[in-house]
Amino acid sequence: MLTLGIDPGTAIMGYGLVESGVSLSGEESSTEELRLVEYGALRTPSHAPMIKRLPMLYAGLQELLKEHKPQAVAIEELFFNKNVRTALAVGQARGVVILAAAHAGVEMAEYTPLQVKQAVVGYGRATKEQVQAMVKIILHMDHIPQPDDAADALAIAICHIHSRVFEMMTRDRGSA
């Protein structure tokens, strides 16, 4: 299962593609290791108006979806600890991600920051640094992924895969 994690923002949108041996049909092993496929960030010029920036982000996402054909797109759920101006900007960026995924016919999932931390570090109050260090270990990277937005995006992708594995295990147990 290939998952595209996204950390939405209008100036910089982090993305991370993580592959797992676990297919959605649950046919393969659920213990197979995760593999880093690609990560990075889409950036837009800060002087440009939103009418230019949002289509640039949409086109960048469209390209990623077309090239990698992920089975799912995962983003962080609404957060409420930032200010209204940030929330409005993040909302616009999220709108772009949701539309790009929907138009590409790709399944979408949302996770709270708590769920991401629990899935990646096993501890809901983990710091940003602990999450990044675990992302590096889980994906066998030789350095912490940069920028932070890309590291966050990889963490969300890992969270999605873990939660799917858990769902499948639960389902298997239920049907046994």
Positions marked active-site: 7, 76, 149
CB-side neighbour CA atoms (13 Å) of 163: 20
As a whole number of angstroms, the distance between CA 93 and CA 87 comes to 10
Give residues with Cβ within 8 angstroms of 80, minimum separation 6. 87
The only residue of 98, 133, 141, 168 in contact with a copy of itself, by rule CB under 8 A: 98
Residue closer to a copy of itself by CB (options 91, 124) is 91
Considering the complex, what minimum distance in angstroms separates the CB of residue 147 from a copy of itself?
22
Instruction: Judge contact between 108 and 102, C-beta under 8 A.
Output: yes
The only residue of 4, 13, 41, 90 in contact with a copy of itself, by rule CB under 8 A: 90
Measured from the Cβ of residue 85, the count of other Cβ atoms closer than 10 Å reads 8
As a whole number of angstroms, the distance between CA 157 and CA 148 comes to 14
CA-derived radius of gyration, the chain: 16
Considering the complex, what minimum distance in angstroms separates the CB of residue 31 from a copy of itself?
30
CB-side neighbour CA atoms (13 Å) of 144: 11
Binding letters toward a copy of itself, positions 20-59, x by CB under 8 A:
------------------------------xxx-xx--x-
- 147: cis peptide before it, omega within 30°? yes
The only residue of 2, 11, 108, 133 in contact with a copy of itself, by rule CB under 8 A: 108
Segment interacting with a copy of itself, rule: CB under 8 A, options 31-39, 84-92, 111-119, 143-151: 84-92
Q: Interface with a copy of itself includes 101 (CB under 8 A)? A: yes
Q: Which residues bind a copy of itself (CB under 8 A)?
A: 50-52, 54-55, 58, 78, 80, 82-85, 87-96, 98-99, 101-103, 108
